[in-house]
Structure 1
Amino acid sequence: MTVPQGRRSSTFTRLLRLGFTDPSAAERLLASGPLAAVRTDPVLLDALGGAADPDLALRGLGRLVEAQPDATGRRALLDTLVAAKPLRDRLIGVLGASEALGDHLARHPGDWQALVTYEQEDLHPGVAEFERGLAGADDPVTLRVAYRRCLLSIAARDVCGTTDVAETAAELADLATATLRAALALAAERIPEDAALCRLSVIALGKCGGHELNYVSDVDVVFVADPVEGADEDKAVQAAIRLASLLMRICSETTVEGSIWPVDANLRPEGRNGPLVRTLASHLAYYQRWAKTWEFQALLKARPVAGDAELGAAYMAAVSPLVWQAAERENFVADVQKMRRRIVENIPAGEVERELKLGPGGLRDVEFAVQLLQLVHGRADTTLRSGTTLNALKALAAGGYVGRVDAVQLDDAYRFLRSMEHRIQLHRLRRTHLVPEDEADLRRIGRSLGMRTEPITDLGRAWRRHTSVVRRLHEKLFYRPLLDAVAQLAPGETRLSTGAARERMVALGYADPGTALRHLEALASGVTRKAAIQRTLLPVLLGWFADSADPDAGLLNFRKVSDALGKTPWYLRLLRDEGAAAENLARVLSAGRLAPDLLMRAPEAVALLGGPGGLEPRERAQLEQEILSAVGRAEGAAQGVTAARAVRRRELFRTAAADLIGSYGTEERPAGGDPGTLVDLVGGAVSDLTAATLAGTLRAVVRDRWGDELPTRFAVIGMGRFGGHELGYGSDADVVFVHEPREGVDEQEAGRAAHTVVEEMRRLLQLPSADPPLLIDTGLRPEGKSGPLVRTLKSYEAYYRRWSLVWESQALLRAQYVAGDEDLARRFLRLADRLRYPAAGLGEDAVREIRRLKARMESERLPRGADPALHTKLGRGGLSDVEWTVQLLQLRHGGHEPSLRTPRTRQALAAARGAGLLTERDASTLDEAWVLATRVRNAVMLVRGRAGDTFPTEVRELAAVARYLGYGPGHAGDMLEDYRRTTRRARAVVESRFYES
């Protein structure tokens, strides 16, 4: 009955505000029922309002209080409830979420005291604690009561948030383990003569085996037995069957206290048609000869839980190797996919959209995807061999088999869907995976998951979002119908029409769907093994290409690589068996021109994409050793430099691939890797590679002309970005050369030799080649282009003492040894230290000169028509602004602040901040701008295949740069605006710190 607005009491209004859906009934219950003594207590009312279903919680609490044996018991319960918040939260939380556990408490009114304890061991109990909780249960009825009492504690921790969904599922599995042990002990007490004949082990499969059980679920098991010493095997097996059957009845039968859960042994060999119990030898023989793929998939979660531990361990040792060989079976992936499709097809049509577990985008899709990847990659990678879905997913992500963002999204979706499943089952403790349609049920579930404003609406929205994520990610692993439209293998089957296929290609982002379909046809048609593997790979690859800015280029490049390597046996096997390799290749091939061009010249470099280690940058010492070895085997200097350039080509591809894969973003994830880390990776890797290439070129020239030893000591000093370990893909190598005649060698002869070395190195590195050019730039030498290419150390010393200008001191800030005689280089750098870190600092005249040079460079070198706000090198807040600001600080303070003595810009920035020369905010602003500008330059080179300091104007190229920087489709404009904003802030710091300080 609706109470008129004017006649509503304050209690009614408060109950309505607290979330009671029937405040009139609640008011009556509080006024005249067993809770009348606390009807106005604000603490208790607020706690009831915090329950998932306040009305249900209030009714359950009333029944519990009423069921207490006497008035003293009722008073004690209420007093404890009001005084003890942990108990209040636990008890009311359970009563508001589970009608079934409310019924249990009404039948066993003393069991509420199981929730009083709040000790550390009570927070996360394991099997041993649950076994103590079940101790004393001497028949199936008392075992059920003890089981529900333990379940009550698990549910309380769950609804109060003391445990998360994964911990709750693990506790439920541990309780099931303890229950199986207790049931087996009861069975052995009833038929001791059978227990004396055999050793019996209970192996859990499914969610119990995976430590991820539901509140109400079948507990999947297989039984393995062996005779005790001296016993007949047949009699022992029959005894074990009677023990196992009794164990199953104890757990499954319904009594006055209900049932615990069904024990399901249908996953055993031969299923229901096979014997309930087999010996270990019989199990092994079956799995070796007859088992189907799905049976090995089921064994992935197997673990011994009860009975003879030694026999259980022997079972696991025997069958585990077979599980990890399952992926080698013929049609393995097809079998797994077929089984998944069959499960979906068997769901009643009216329930598909409500099916939380088995429907599209449901829990089973996550589990199947994870298990498929585990079985494929777990053969070689033992870290993947977990029976717990979330642990396995985490391991797959850590191993690079699943993208980090994909793994996070799947983890979030799986946790949410499992939480929904738990709340649905907890209400009446019934085995169901259907989302209810009743609004009261949906409201309770939504509130239990923290959705208090619009619980029904918010629950539906979150559920749809998570199933959509799962469906999208799961489809990456399964066939898509596009291939059927072009492969022409089954003309009698319904396939997409050519027009529909073209439309779908366009929807996926392909600008030229006709050409794309022809590529698919060329790759996937035919009955060869190669075509069959391509048909498995391409549905996944097409999705990854579609995620890029240029899907057409990705597919075209994939066809080129496949044509080049198609007859190489390891190529398609790598892509098929190593999920990370296929996705990595797709990302690399669709992200621009540089990496594919490098790969086309050395297609075997695809092998680098096969695992996480393949993309790790190599140490400089390793690179130099490989290049010097290749030079040593070459006939003549030209061939030696060609060999060095081949190594450089491969390593540039390794670096570019690692950069692209680390940078690749989606609309949901602004960036894949930390931008600063990626910039440092590229700068360090390219700089080390350039240094090793120059070392190899130097060795080739010396070996060709002079044999083992040059008449003069000779060193190459890196300058600019090269010296700073900050080279980009398209950077020249700024260097100066220094030499020192060996003892007894005429100085003129030494000078001629040194000059010949320099000229020959430059000539050989500039010979026409398909490899990316490596240009040596000597413009930072004394006297610039007017000065000699190479000087002796004494000549440098004399020049710097008498003639050096302030810009040369500034240039020396980044001087660093890169090749040749290390001792000579050290002495050169000690000489440089006196100029770049002057003890007296920098005079005002020198500061003004640096500022004048900077202003002149901005006005004279910025290309005509270039937008100063978007030029990464000379533009506002770009690389030059940041570097000159940092370098001025180094020249002024490096003489007395040793931390500033580094050729690396970001390290110098951090040192300036640490020394108090820059505020935290200013240093961070400059660092962010420098990293962003560097990444844009790298992106332009990766996308266009040639260096550039401005953003591309062509739409697809600009989109590809945006994707590299982590912007989703259609957000190139946001990228440009963010760049302007970041560099504008940096320019403000430069104006303050460079021009005014």
Structure 2
Amino acid sequence: MVLAIGDEEGAVETVPRMQTTAGRLARLGFADGARAERLLDELGPEAVGDVALLDSLVGAADPDLALTSLNRLAERDPSVLGALRSDPGLRDRLLGVFGVSAALGDHVVRHPEHRRLLEGEAAARRPSQEELRTDLLLAVGAEPDEPGPRARDASTETLSALRVAYRGRLLHLAARDVIGEASLAEVTAELSALAGAALEAGLAVARSEHPEAAGVRLAVIGMGKCGARELNYISDVDVIFVAEPGEDAGEGADETQAVRLATRLAQGMMRACSATTPEGALWEVDAALRPEGKAGPLVRTLASHQAYYRRWAKTWEFQALLKARPVAGDPGLGGRYVAAMNEMVWQAATREKFVEDVQAMRRRVEAHVRVEEAERQIKLGPGGLRDIEFAVQLLQLVHGRLDPMLRRRATLPALAALSRGGYVGRDDAKALAEAYSFLRQVEHLIQLHRLRRTHVVPEGEGDLRRLGRGLGMTSDPVGEFTTRWRRHAMEARRLHEKLFYRPLLQAVARLPESEDRLSTAAAQARLEALGYTDPAGALRHISALTSGVSRRAAIQRTLLPVMLGWFADAPDPDAGLLGFRQVSDKLGATAWYLRLLRDETAVAARLARLLGTSRYATGLLMHAPEAVAMLGSDTELEPRRPEALLSEARTVVGRHPHQAETAVAAVRALRRKELFRTAVADLDGIIDIERVGQTLSHLNDVTIQAALDAAIAKVEMERRTPLGTRFAVIAMGRLGGLECSYGSDADVMFVHEPLPEVPEKEATDAAHAVANELRRLLALPAPDPPLTVDPDLRPEGRQGPLVRTLASYAAYYGRWSSPWEAQALLRARFCAGDAGLGVALLHLADPLRYPPEGVSDAAVLQIRKLKARMEAERLPRGADPTLHTKLGRGGLSDVEWVAQLIQLRHAGRLPSLRTTRTLQALRAAVAEKLLDPADEAVLAEAWCFASRIRDAIVLVKGRAADSIPADVRERALIARALGYPPEGSEDFMNDYLRVTRRARTVVERVFYGD
């Protein structure tokens, strides 16, 4: 048996059904070729051989969805297949709709007679507004020609009939839309007309409920997109109600009674449209744009409206009135209302702080977008429809007072008028119009799928594929759609930021174009004189800060001129200005941020110095911008107590008991904030290098403990049993010595001790699982600086077990340990987990690291040889030994090995030497008369200087390095971060070489001598 299939070019192939049909269908565009084959078979042999039918299915946005709806319809109405063969227009329209809208497919299956709306020449004709009105009024049993027509009643049957008729018209429009028989402007205008017709029908239903209101005049004013004739497929319909006594009521008629009766009509109309029936609801009728919003009366007289807007209305309310248009009810009263409002709308720009109010309104709208949806929100998110609409409306309101040509309700006609009038450049207007049209088409396709009110681009590949194909993209619908969407959004955002503040800036500047160019050149010269290496780039940042959609305009007016000078005083002015722009992008719409910078000059000055000094701190701030708030005082920058940090970290972990990754991500966010606090305190000299090391080490302890809690919880959950063993983490290396730098790994050892009733194998497996999970959680990609857990200092190094029991440690150290391991244990310190177990391991290690009789002469010789070999072999190739802060001459390693050798020799009999910290060990050696005070001072100075340089390298460059850079500019930036003046780079180098040279002399005598 064979199946005839049209290929991508429309040709027909004959292929063996059992061999290739499903695959061929998949290649043609069906997501599930086998299912498509089955559904085609169910349609019958004539459908199977109908190449035109298959071509129309393949041309649909979602062929699988189209075929599914067609099968369901054919079950209800088998005649549809013959109709499709005889009417190509019906076939394209019906399958086109089925391919984008599952909801309209459901509707046609429920009401198969509605497919006839897509047949013949009438299917391509655009209905008039009166035709739509008549159709929907007849659906509810009202006579269209009667003044104030009344429906049959407000029964469920009547309301369902309204919805069926409405969706039939929606089907007719969507069919013309998806195959390109209607333009975007025609689609939105017809949707607006259809909404007006539905409101008219709803009002007729309300009149049938309230015959006592027959003489009252009620006008329904469309607002928003309905008023502007740019409605989308599924949207709330914004309205305002205005009422008057009937014409036959005579002069002095009771307005209060008229408003009361009109309110009943308005409420009845809203229910008629919004109520849920077996056929669903139409949409919500939203009257919240009325005077006083939801707190105000639903209906007012025209005089009451005028009084409110003259005295009480806010700026945004005049902006909303730009779109006002009579859409239902009494057209004469509606016309009078709009005429009266227009007089006030076009004078609104003269109000005090009008432009600032409009800008603030846009910021408030943007601030309420859900963070997780912001990048996919095509309406309210950055580069979305609201960006374009607000920019256009602000320009209209500012310039339309004097230029009546700008007084258009709809966005695209208004944008075209702005372009023609020279208020927007032609290229900018073209780009905005293209972005707006694209986003509106995407919005329509998203909403058509389920007939739901949404403006969020879906994430699923199938949904994105349907969107891309619905927009005519066939080769790579997902990739092409995503690329075009992002490009349009970025361009819309850029132009929004460019235009949204322009009326204000032009009004303030009042400069002709030639003078503006001169001032730009002068500004570049001024910036260059201040020390900016890229004055043109600096000007771009300044422009972005002054014309952005956040509160950057206010910052520019009050702070930016001063901050430019502060940036110039920092080591890297260009980086400072760039960082300030980035932080402002993050926090510009946050009220406290602007208030803090405006009211607390010290904060702004500290921020400028910080951003112009440290890429590391700037990077932290990018991902924790709220940390700006801690710059207000030195007290805020004091390191927090480890106990308080641990309590907060454990609380964070406790909020996610079954989500270890989420819990640790939150802990790392806390660590990120504390790293920023430490970096600022370090750069400002609030804490010295010893406290920096302690603070960073305690922070790492807290992070490891919190991650360990999460790891244990996850392992117990996965194993469905308690852990069965005690577990502890022992800090080693710089972490154990409380001497961590910003770029330090966490050197650790793991120990566990099975509970009495638990087999050792089971306990060991659990302990290994915890150790591995701890390392995995802390290694997950994240925006914070990494904390690498390194267990290589354990017995046997990488070749040894990751976790051992106490007994295993005791056996190893008792038999196999070497002098370097005893030396490494000098830094061993309990870090996290079971404190009792950790202390037990340290007690076990004490005889090894603090030998009662001191290390033997042979061991000392071995240690000295190891140190000499390390100096010769571990220094990176090409590294200058005089500039390597860790392994170079007089560097960290030199000083630390001196202290550790003294400890190995004497700590067994002198408890004061039993410390994991280098400087404390040197001080104790002086107190015990084992080291000359002058030598201790030289060694301590070298150790502190090298440690500060290592930290400064990370702070300035944003990444760790052990050598002082050879690049002159980088070296100068590090010198500035260390407190040297702008011309002090050479002094910095001379100081370091002098200090380390003196330290090396001491090392040669104390470490290598007798």
Q: Bigger relative contact order, structure 1 or 2, given CA contacts below 8 A and separation 6+?
A: 1
